[in-house]
Every structure is written in structure tokens, then in C-alpha cells.
């Protein structure tokens, strides 16, 4: 039987998760909840998705714009097993009592406080811990990127300590009012940044410190990560570990000419839907290994990296698949994530 899923909040993350759910043969996308009438509401209808609104008051605006509404969020909650909440940070917490009332399982996003859910989630790090839970929170894009590289290496060698500098995109492409537009802003000025704390919601014992700056770009985040491992490794070991891990792409700058986010996104424009890169991209040429210390640059496409994690989270809490690698493989196959851009 397919698990019945709905998405509340059809924005940057919600629209991507909705389409990803629709591609799963073990899930059914019952509907999406839109609050405001905008271009993506028309696009959702054009894609054949069923629109619901938070309240019947909201639906009047949709009907005025000629958009068919199938009911309210409450109507939808009566028809589903899992709700993916992709509303703006903090709004999911407000909806939680309603979700609980209807007895649906919940997947929240990284903008919510960790307490919103029983556990924070990353597919590679703690899939088994959340099987059958009532609610999970998929951690933010930056945290997902950090956890991908840490847990990839942790599968083979103990990771004792992580230090990372996050060079954060100022805004998503559609966010015209956010900045900075001409500054490199310490984010926040007082170290450390909150990302380390967020990583520890999944790996509570990890020694990790993060700094962050926000820069005037919308394409992607870049991280400089330094990991101290439990034993000495070679550069070849690290490349081979990363190369054999799902959802990680290794790019060689010398061979491809790609030296940053613009080059990467340009390739994705040619080969990917919406130029999404849900994989973590590691620049091979940036990998330095000195005994137990590994340093590298990695790229996080903020709009899409959490999408496959949301699909695995649905599968884990529904108890449909107990093997993380099998869920990851199924999700990645359905989304065309082949760990290669060409």
C-alpha cells in the first residue's frame, strides 16, 4: 500500500518535495496547501496537483483567480498518513497541534526549532533512529551538507573534530528583498554560528565549531571544512570514501574547468530540472590530507539538497523501509541522482 502524503507550504522547498513525492512508487501525493495566489499556484495546477488552502477564507482568493481548490488543510489532513510541513520557519510549530489532532505523522524543515519533532534527521547519519517515529525534522541545507561529508567519512574512520567556515548565499533567487548586495557579512558577528549546534541535533557528541559569512550571491553555499580523524588516512582514501558515498559528487576543477558555483550551476542548467543539485559537491582539487587532518571545499545547492532527505524521512517514519541505503538508492534512482552531472 502506498503512503498518502501532503505538503503544507508550496514554496522553494515545498514545491520540490511535492514533485519528488509524486515520483515515488510507494507514495501518493494527495495534495498541496498553498496560502497565497502566485505564479507557483498556477504552475501547481498546470502540473495536475490538487490545491488546498489553510482556511476556507484563503480559498476565496484562489477561486477569484480561477483556481480550483479541493478543500482546506483540515479536509486534507483527514485523507493522509504523513504531512510534510514546508512553511516558513516557525510556522510549522504553530500547525503542530492540528497535525497531532488528526494523528498524521509529520516531517518538518530546518527552519523549525529542533523541539518541534521527536528527532532531527539526516539519511546517512541517523535513518535507523527515526524508523516509526511520529515526527522528524529534516535539518537545514547547510547542516545537511556538513552531515553528508561527516557521516560519509564516519562510516570508515572516526571523526573526532570538525571546524567549518560557511560562506552562505545571501538569498534564494526569488527573494528580491534580502541581502547583502554589496558586503561580506559576518553571520553572526559573534562566533560561533548556529550551524554547529544544529549538526549536534543529529550527532550530539561531535566536537564541532562553525563560523559563517553571508555573501552577495543566490546560487549556492560554499563550505570550507576541516576534519580531524581518529587515524591517519591518505588523500586517496578520502577521495575513494567520498566517491563511493551516495549523494556526493566529486568535481575535478583542473579537468572540467569548474572552479566555483557559477560553473557548477551552468552545467546543472543544461542537465537538471530547475538546475537543482541535491547532491553535495566536493571539489577534488581542494582536498588536502595531512596525517589525521582533512581539508576541503564543498558546495551546497540550498534550494534542493534537503529534497531527497525529505523523501527518506517519509519512508523512515512510515516504517516502509528499514535499510537506509535501500531507501537512499530508491529515492536517488527516482530523482535521477546518479552522482554525476554528465
Query: Which parts of 118-194 fold into alpha helices (H)?
Result: 123-126, 141-154
Q: Under a CB-based contact definition with an 8 Å cutoff, are residues 241 and 250 in contact?
A: no
Contact track, ligand NAD, 252-291, x by CB under 6 A? ----------------------------------------
Eight-class DSSP state of 134: S
Q: Does 308 bind ligand NAD (CB under 6 A)?
A: no
Contacts of residue 165, Cβ cutoff 8 Å, sequence gap at least 6? 210, 211, 212, 213, 223, 224
Residue 133 has φ and ψ, to the nearest 5°, of -65, 160
Can you read off the three cell numbers belonging to residue 77? 489532513
Q: Does 121 bind ligand NAD (CB under 6 A)?
A: no
The distance of closest approach from Cβ of residue 336 to ligand NAD in the complex, given in angstroms and rounded to an integer, is 20
Q: Does 8 bind ligand NAD (CB under 6 A)?
A: yes
Sole window of 11-19, 156-164, 283-291, 312-320 interacting with ligand NAD (rule: CB under 6 A): 11-19
Tell me which of 81, 276, 284, 303 binds ligand NAD, using CB under 6 A: 303
Q: Does 31 bind ligand NAD (CB under 6 A)?
A: no
Sole window of 88-96, 186-194, 310-318, 320-328 interacting with ligand NAD (rule: CB under 6 A): 88-96
Can you read off the three cell numbers belonging to residue 237? 582514501
| Nearest one of 340, 331, 226 to 288, comparing CA atoms | 226
Tell me which of 61, 91, 131, 206 binds ligand NAD, using CB under 6 A: 91
The distance of closest approach from Cβ of residue 56 to ligand NAD in the complex, given in angstroms and rounded to an integer, is 14
> Which residues participate in catalysis according to the annotation?
141
Tell me which of 3, 6, 7, 10 binds ligand NAD, using CB under 6 A: 10
Pick between residue 30 and residue 287 the one whose CB is nearest to ligand NAD: 30
Beta strands in the chain (DSSP E): 3-8, 27-33, 51-52, 82-85, 105-108, 119-121, 135-138, 159-169, 185-186, 207-215, 221-229, 248-251, 280-283, 288-290, 293-300
Q: Determine the residue with CB nearest ligand NAD.
A: 11
Sole window of 32-40, 158-166, 187-195, 230-238 interacting with ligand NAD (rule: CB under 6 A): 32-40
Q: How far is Cα 10 from Cα 321, in angstroms, rounded to an integer?
A: 26
Can you read off the three cell numbers belonging to residue 16? 520540490
Size of site (CB under 6 A) for ligand NAD:
26
Q: Does 131 bind ligand NAD (CB under 6 A)?
A: no
Q: How far is Cα 175 from Cα 23, in angstroms, rounded to an integer?
A: 28
Tell me which of 21, 32, 33, 307 binds ligand NAD, using CB under 6 A: 33
Radius of gyration of the chain (CA): 20
Contact residues toward ligand NAD (CB under 6 A) are 8-14, 33, 35-36, 54, 86-89, 91, 109-112, 140-141, 172, 302-303, 306
Amino acid at each position: 500500500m502506498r503512503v498518502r502524503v501532503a505538503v503544507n507550504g508550496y514554496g522553494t522547498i515545498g514545491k520540490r518535495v511535492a514533485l519528488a513525492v509524486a515520483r515515488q512508487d510507494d507514495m501518493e501525493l494527495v495534495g498541496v496547501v498553498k496560502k497565497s495566489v502566485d505564479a507557483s499556484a498556477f504552475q501547481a495546477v498546470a502540473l495536475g496537483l490538487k490545491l488546498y488552502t489553510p482556511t476556507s477564507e484563503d480559498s476565496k482568493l484562489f477561486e477569484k483567480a480561477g483556481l480550483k481548490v479541493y478543500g482546506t488543510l483540515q479536509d486534507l489532513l483527514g485523507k493522509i498518513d504523513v504531512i510534510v510541513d514546508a512553511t516558513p520557519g516557525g510556522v510549522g510549530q504553530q500547525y503542530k497541534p492540528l497535525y497531532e489532532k488528526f494523528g498524521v505523522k509529520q516531517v518538518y524543515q530546518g527552519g523549525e526549532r529542533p523541539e518541534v519533532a521527536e528527532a532531527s534527521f539526516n539519511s546517512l547519519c541517523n535513518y535507523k533512529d527515526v524508523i516509526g517515529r511520529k515526527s522528524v525534522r529534516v535539518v537545514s541545507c547547510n547542516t545537511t551538507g556538513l552531515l553528508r561529508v561527516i557521516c560519509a567519512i564516519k562510516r570508515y574512520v572516526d571523526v573526532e573534530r570538525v571546524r567549518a567556515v560557511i560562506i552562505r548565499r545571501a538569498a534564494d533567487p526569488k527573494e528580491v528583498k534580502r541581502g547583502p548586495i554589496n558586503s561580506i557579512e559576518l553571520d553572526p558577528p559573534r562566533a560561533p554560528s548556529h550551524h554547529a549546534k544544529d549538526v549536534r541535533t543529529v550527532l550530539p557528541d561531535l566536537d564541532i565549531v562553525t563560523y559563517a559569512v553571508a555573501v552577495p550571491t543566490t546560487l549556492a553555499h560554499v563550505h570550507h571544512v576541516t576534519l580531524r580523524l581518529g587515524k591517519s588516512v591518505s588523500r586517496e582514501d578520502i577521495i575513494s570514501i567520498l566517491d563511493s558515498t551516495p549523494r556526493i559528487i566529486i568535481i575535478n576543477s583542473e579537468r572540467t574547468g569548474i572552479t566555483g558555483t557559477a560553473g557548477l550551476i551552468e552545467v546543472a542548467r543544461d542537465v537538471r530540472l530547475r538546475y537543482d543539485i541535491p547532491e553535495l559537491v566536493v571539489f577534488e582539487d581542494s582536498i588536502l590530507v595531512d596525517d589525521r587532518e582533512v581539508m576541503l571545499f564543498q558546495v551546497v545547492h540550498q534550494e534542493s539538497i534537503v529534497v531527497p532527505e525529505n523523501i527518506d524521512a517519509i519512508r523512515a517514519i512510515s516504517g516502509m523501509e528499514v535499510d537506509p541505503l535501500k531507501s537512499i538508492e530508491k529515492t536517488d534512482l527516482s530523482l535521477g541522482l546518479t552522482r554525476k552531472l554528465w
